[in-house]
Amino acid sequence: MDEHLPEPIRAVEHELTALLRRGRAVSWEIAREVHPNLEPNTYGLLLWLRRSGSIRLTELAARLGVGKGTLSRQINALEVLGLVYRDPDPSDRRAAQITFTEEGQRRFDAARSARVGELLRTLNDWPARDVEEFARLLGRFNDSWQ
């Protein structure tokens, strides 16, 4: 089968595999820096939470592409660690808004800043238009892969 794949597709698969491997390693590092007992797969969850400030569990589950049950278990673990809390949603008392605690946000930001520094150093020599195009293409790829 591999010999029948067009070379650009094989190249994308190879580069995507390398990116995902590095991404998992970074997620492990950041998770451990945020809290030693934090599951590494929660980095994406924390990043979405950081970007949105406060978000409903159902909306977060949809954005992350995970089931509400799975996400609820992850949120429970984050609550136990003191990193997030739930508040009743003012527009729907049956729903909850998930928000970082002050400590959770401080820890996440501190752990993430070192990794963002690495990203800035990696892309420092790229022209701004290339970085913009790279972000646009990654966004298009992620939007298409659902």
Q: Which two tokens stand for residue 23?
A: 């991404």
pLDDT one-digit tens code per residue, 71-101:
889 999 999 999 999 988 788 777 788 999 9
pTM of this structure: 0.76
The pLDDT of residue 146 is 62
Domain assignment of residue 10, given as a range: 2-144
At residue 103's C-alpha, the angle toward residues 79 and 41, to 5°, is 55
Residues 57 and 98 sit within 8 Å (Cβ to Cβ): yes
**What is the total count of domains within the chain?**
1
Strands (E), the chain: 54-56, 84-89, 92-100
Instruction: Specify the CATH number for the domain of residue 111.
Output: 1.10.10.10
pLDDT one-digit tens code per residue, 10-59:
898 999 999 888 888 888 888 888 888 888 788 888 888 999 888 888 88
Judged by average pLDDT, the poorest of 30-34, 101-105, 121-125 is 30-34
